Amino acid sequence: MSAGDNSPVTGAAFAALADWGTSNFRLWLVDRSGAVLAERQSGEGMGTIANPAGFSDVLEGHLQALAAPVGLPVAIAGMAGARTGWIEAPYLTAPADLRALYQGAVRAPSDHRKAFILPGVCQREPLPYDVMRGEETQLAGAVFAGKDSGLFCMPGTHSKWVLLNQGVIEQFATVMTGELFDLISKQSILRLSMAGAERSGAEHPAFVAAAKEAMEPGFSITARLFSIRASGLLSGATATDAAARLSGLLIGAEVAAMRHLVPTGGTVRIVASESLTGLYSAALAASGLSAEPLDGSALVRSGLFAAATALFANQNTDV
Amino acid sequence: MSAGDNSPVTGAAFAALADWGTSNFRLWLVDRSGAVLAERQSGEGMGTIANPAGFSDVLEGHLQALAAPVGLPVAIAGMAGARTGWIEAPYLTAPADLRALYQGAVRAPSDHRKAFILPGVCQREPLPYDVMRGEETQLAGAVFAGKDSGLFCMPGTHSKWVLLNQGVIEQFATVMTGELFDLISKQSILRLSMAGAERSGAEHPAFVAAAKEAMEPGFSITARLFSIRASGLLSGATATDAAARLSGLLIGAEVAAMRHLVPTGGTVRIVASESLTGLYSAALAASGLSAEPLDGSALVRSGLFAAATALFANQNTDV
């Protein structure tokens, strides 16, 4: 059955699934087939919770608002499992088998019910060091949907590029594109060139031109950024042009750095919002690659459900 | 004769020279040989002056504090000549002959005395667009000191790399290293890994290791920055290590982007503070290049003096 926000549970709830990131919290109640019975979301990400003891109350409040049965167990993914979160769920080390993600789950100290937090994944070899929390559960969802190999691009504040081989994370890399766009466009000298910029997408000619520029041999982003300011002063480039150009340089540089992980002409699976999917698809196309968009929300729910099934299937949680 | 801050003029003043940047103001009174009679500096950079009319009063206040003679003319370099400064001194376009810098000087609307602002230099070809204001006057000083060819590296908030050929700026590039270091170390996620970092220099092993890493083929700074955070989480790297590594990655990437402008084994002239000169010299050495440090303050004074001589030599300014 389908259910909207705040709908009370009417079916046979099997488990609750929570995607608990730095800035957002999402919760679903699902039945034994994984169908969503009710859902809820809020801005109560890890960053808003002052101390570990607060997590239990926040979670319980949302579960009660959904009339979740007493004793319904919960599977959690994301930053709630960081050292500074509810309780640390130590990283699995790549190569990491996503089908066994649940084996690294850590029981959280809830006063109310059984709650497990799934581990993140870290990389020690090949260097450089890297870490993820949350994306591994989305990827587990992809694996359970049969997409168990290939290159995944998960853009955002800190984009993750992940190489899967038969359900195993072989290697991955984080690219700070989103955070750098935010800092540079709002706080660097370039903000003077993009004040009042309108939101534009992959259709803006400056975006693709800049993405291609960033894919040229010898390109250096730190040596090219200031040209955005100089273009505003010398050629009358508009604020919208400038913002599109910054976006194109950063995303183009990101694709250029990661394209070696997929064969020429290959496909990259993108897990992102619609607008970011558009930008990354265009940059990938400029690099001769195809994009296959995936629904990140469905993936994380699917990855959490698989873990919940492994963790809770042998107990009676119906009421 | 030598003179300290605020010393009254005792010799025969020929001109005043002002280096007027975004955040700082420096003023020298010099005699006909260019010897400094008195000097003064303050934080009254362009950024602190609310409207164009304010420049004249700030300048006059400092000149009077030095007991500058009535009618003593002033040569000015830097952001005071920007569109948002005192009065715009339009850019010369590269290739630009630094011996003729004074020909582009624009008379500022002072109520008190003759004041000229030297032009900046812009680049339209080869793309990308670029601009400088202030550095061209330091470079003119180098030209008049016989250093009229070669690659100059002028690190700072916005580093300038400038190729001179017989006194002509052939091409140049701005690298936003200093500003990016500042933004990333203080405001990005990486701040969590470098809180309380001690100031370290080129002797820190992480600095040179990171600089070399940034010079490897295929290096991408946006794809490598997050490793600083991950190293802190996984390998116990200290805050000081993290800051040295960020500095090394950024400066290494800057040198890697610019090294093609000088032959292998060549020398790059560095115009910077002592600490930055140390860092850049080490990064250049890691790239197989030598560094020749120059005194930026002496250079700008020399460049201003040459312009003042050309502009004011035919008038009687002694008192």
Among the ranges given (A10-14, A81-85, A266-270, B151-155), the one the predictor scored with the smallest mean pLDDT: A10-14
What are the structural domains, with CATH classification, of chain A? 15-124+297-312 (3.30.420.300), 177-288 (3.30.420.310)
> How distant is the Cα of A121 from the closest Cα of chain B, in angstroms?
11
Structure tokens at A147: 């997409």
Higher-pLDDT residue of A19 and A2 is A19
Q: Is A256 on the interface with B (CB under 8 A)?
A: yes
Contacts of B83 (CB under 8 A, 6+ apart): A233
Query: pLDDT band for position B314 (50/70/90)?
Result: confident
CA angle A91, A93, A94 (to 5 degrees): 130
* Distance (Å) of CA B194 to CA A79, B161, B234: 20, 29, 15
Residue by residue, DSSP assigns chain A as ----BTPPP-S---EEEEEE-SS-EEEEEE-TT--EEEEEEES--GGG--STHHHHHHHHHHHHHTTPPTT--EEEESGGGSTTSSS--PPEESSEEGGGGGGG-EE---SSS-EEE---EEE-SSSSPEEESSHHHHHHHHHHTT--SEEEEE-STTEEEEEEETTEEEEEEEE-HHHHHHHHHHHSTTHHHHTTPPP--TTSHHHHHHHHHHTSTT--STTTTHHHHHHHHHT---HHHHHHHHHHHHHHHHHHHHGGGS-TT-EEEEES-HHHHHHHHHHHHHTT-EEEEE-HHHHHHHHHHHHHHHHHTTS----
Q: Which residue of A has its CA nearest to B22?
A: A189
Whose CA is closest to B243, among B199, B202, B284?
B199
Query: pLDDT band for position A10 (50/70/90)?
Result: low
The pLDDT score that the predictor gives to residue B11 is 65
Of B183, B250, B254, the CB nearest to A188: B183
Per-residue HEC secondary structure of A12-49 comes to: CCCEEEEEECCCCEEEEEECCCCCEEEEEEECCCHHHC
> How distant is the Cα of B91 from the closest Cα of chain A, in angstroms?
10
Contacts of A26 (CB under 8 A, 6+ apart): A18, A19, A20, A39, A40, A41, A297, A300
Q: Do B221 and A221 make contact, defined as CB atoms within 8 angstroms?
A: yes
Q: Do B188 and A173 make contact, defined as CB atoms within 8 angstroms?
A: no
Whose CA is closest to A116, among A249, A304, A279, A314?
A304
Q: Do B223 and A184 make contact, defined as CB atoms within 8 angstroms?
A: no
- Give the three-state DSSP class for B175: strand
CB atoms within 10 A of CB A167: 18
CA angle B159, B160, B166 (to 5 degrees): 155
Q: Is the bond preceding A128 in cis, omega lying within 30 degrees of 0?
A: yes
Which of A129, A157, A160, A188 best probes binding to B when mutated, by most B CB atoms within 10 angstroms?
A: A129
The pLDDT score that the predictor gives to residue A228 is 97
> pLDDT tens for residues B9-28?
456 999 999 999 999 999 99
CB atoms within 10 A of CB A19: 25
The pLDDT score that the predictor gives to residue B227 is 97
Q: Is B240 on the interface with A (CB under 8 A)?
A: no
> How distant is the Cα of A86 from the closest Cα of chain B, in angstroms?
17
Residue A8 has pLDDT above 60, yes or no: no
Residue A319 has pLDDT above 70, yes or no: no
Of B180, B229, B231, the CB nearest to A222: B180
Residue A232 has pLDDT above 70, yes or no: yes
Of B123, B222, B253, the CB nearest to A176: B222
For residues B296 and B179, is the Cβ–Cβ distance under 8 A? no
Residue B7 has pLDDT above 70, yes or no: no
Residue B316 has pLDDT above 80, yes or no: no
Q: Do A129 and B221 make contact, defined as CB atoms within 8 angstroms?
A: no
Q: Is B212 on the interface with A (CB under 8 A)?
A: no
> pLDDT tens for residues B47-97?
899 888 899 999 999 999 999 999 999 999 999 999 999 999 999 999 999
Q: Which residue of A has its CA nearest to B224?
A: A175
Query: pLDDT band for position A4 (50/70/90)?
Result: very low
Task: For residue B158, list chain A residues with Cβ-Cβ distance below 8 A.
Answer: 189, 226
Which of B121, B125, B177, B220 best probes binding to A when mutated, by most A CB atoms within 10 angstroms?
A: B220
Q: Do B256 and A220 make contact, defined as CB atoms within 8 angstroms?
A: yes
| Burial class of B283 by CB neighbour count within 10 A (0 to 12, 13 to 18, 19+) | buried
Instruction: Note which residues in 96-155 of chain A have CB less than 8 A from chain B.
Output: 122-124, 127-131
Mean pLDDT, chain A, as a whole number?
93
> pLDDT tens for residues B253-283?
999 999 999 998 999 999 999 999 999 999 9
Q: Do A222 and B250 make contact, defined as CB atoms within 8 angstroms?
A: yes
* Distance (Å) of CA B269 to CA A14, A226, B167: 70, 22, 14
CB atoms within 10 A of CB B199: 9
Q: Do A124 and B234 make contact, defined as CB atoms within 8 angstroms?
A: yes
Structure tokens at A184: 């540079």
The predicted complex's ipTM stands at 0.92
Q: Which residue of A has its CA nearest to B91?
A: A234
Alpha helices in chain B (DSSP H): 53-65, 135-144, 177-187, 191-194, 205-214, 221-224, 226-234, 239-258, 274-286, 296-312
Which of A220, A228, A241, A260 best probes binding to B when mutated, by most B CB atoms within 10 angstroms?
A: A220
Residue B315 has pLDDT above 90, yes or no: no
Of B158, B222, B234, the CB nearest to A131: B234
The pLDDT score that the predictor gives to residue A266 is 95
Which of B127, B153, B176 best probes binding to A when mutated, by most A CB atoms within 10 angstroms?
A: B176
Residue B149 has pLDDT above 70, yes or no: yes
> pLDDT tens for residues A19-67?
999 999 999 999 999 999 999 999 999 989 988 889 999 999 999 999 9
The pLDDT score that the predictor gives to residue A315 is 66
Structure tokens at B85: 């400064």
> pLDDT tens for residues A156-209?
999 999 999 999 999 999 999 999 999 999 999 999 999 999 988 999 999 999
> pLDDT tens for residues A131-147?
999 999 999 999 999 99
The helix (run of H) or strand (run of E) holding residue B159 is strand B159-165
